Amino acid sequence: MPLIVHSQPPLPRRVTIIGVGLIGGSFALAMRRAVPDICVTGVDRDEINLATARHLGVLDQVVQDVASAVAEAELVLLAVPVRQLAAVLSQVWATLPAGAVVTDVGSTKASVWQAAQATMGASLARFVPGHPIAGAEQSGVRAARADLFQGCSVVLTPTSVCDEQARGVVQQCWEACGAKVELMSVQRHDAIFGVVSHLPHLLSFALVYDIATRVDAASFFRFAAGGFRDFTRIAASNPEMWRDISLANRTVLLSEIERYREQLDLLTELLQQEDESGLESFFKVARQARRNWNDTQ
């Protein structure tokens, strides 16, 4: 009796990347490893970046406009800032070939999905929102690496209108890049990343802002040391990017700031009452949870 093998469809061979930075460039390099005869087309507003990407062998061809870049694509990866996504999506769908699949890499997903609903028309079923949990100190295509996604998680948030095959193609590509794919709803994604990523960024910005706006800021910064360094590393993040993420996920952030305030209320109460065991157990819970988390990394 013949063995029935459920073989996966082949990986796409014509890939278009819109926004060829760290993430877009690394995706191109990783896909090249997986698909030797791939043809990767790139679009980017920054011509120098685009020329560099070509020079580094990240791209096979560069195209000036989105419409012609996607005209022959099997897979389109949108790796532009969240804020530009709506504008780019509205250009993509007009020339998108039937059957081509579109995905993105934005840090927030509800806003992306809204933009897709508003612009993609009949192509909407072939848009699979995604978010690779990867990054690096550097940005730009020069920092791109074929192994950036090795062992990383990539969250996909397909909705009920999403074509199952389209989801499969995107998942297969990320797995070919070495990533573990996790599926969740758009809302769940934004709730989780609002807490573990967006909120700490705001809290870190807030501490540095708090110190920086004092009359005698310099005498504070002068004595800041290792703990401050770690806590505020993310306060050096890109302000435009975090403005966009904050606004895109503002509903979650507003409720999470409120919830965080309640922890500050509790700490305030413990301090006011000089509650030794209360403070110690608060810190112990946090330390144990942080250590447990560390052990899983």
Residues 102-121 within binding reach of a second copy (CB under 8 A): none
Stretch that binds a second copy, among 42-50, 114-122, 165-173, 274-282 (CB under 8 A): 274-282
Pull the structure tokens for residue 293: 């988390």
Return d(Cα 52, Cα 182) in angstroms, integer.
32
Per DSSP, 125 falls in state G
Q: Does 274 bind a second copy (CB under 8 A)?
A: yes
**Exposure string over 264-274, b if 16+ CB within 10 A, otherwise e:** eeeeeebeeee
Instruction: Write down the least CB distance from residue 176 to a second copy, Å.
Output: 22
- Applying CB under 8 A, the site for a second copy has a residue count of 85
Does 93 participate in binding a second copy (rule CB under 8 A)? no
Through-space distance between the first and last CA atoms of the chain, rounded to whole angstroms: 45
DSSP assignment of 98-140: TT-EEEE--S-SHHHHHHHHHH-GGGGGGEE-EEE----S--S
User: Should residue 27 be labelled a site residue for a second copy when binding is judged by CB under 8 A?
Assistant: no
Q: Mask 243-262, x = binds a second copy (CB under 8 A)?
A: x--xx--x--xx--xxxxx-
Closer to a second copy at the Cβ: 74 or 244? 244
Per-residue contact string for residues 154-183; x = within reach of a second copy by CB under 8 A:
-x----------------------------
**Cα distance between residue 84 and residue 243, in whole Å:** 13
Backbone φ and ψ for 165, nearest 5 degrees, come out as -70, -40
**Nearest approach, Cβ of residue 269 and a second copy (Å):** 10
Among 154, 156, 186, 202, interactor with a second copy by CB under 8 A:
202
Rule CB under 8 A: is residue 212 a binding residue for a second copy?
yes
| Beta bridge mates, 102 | 76, 127
Q: What are phi and psi of 187, to 5 degrees?
A: -65, -40
| Contacting residue, 48, 87, 118, 289, with a second copy by CB under 8 A | 289
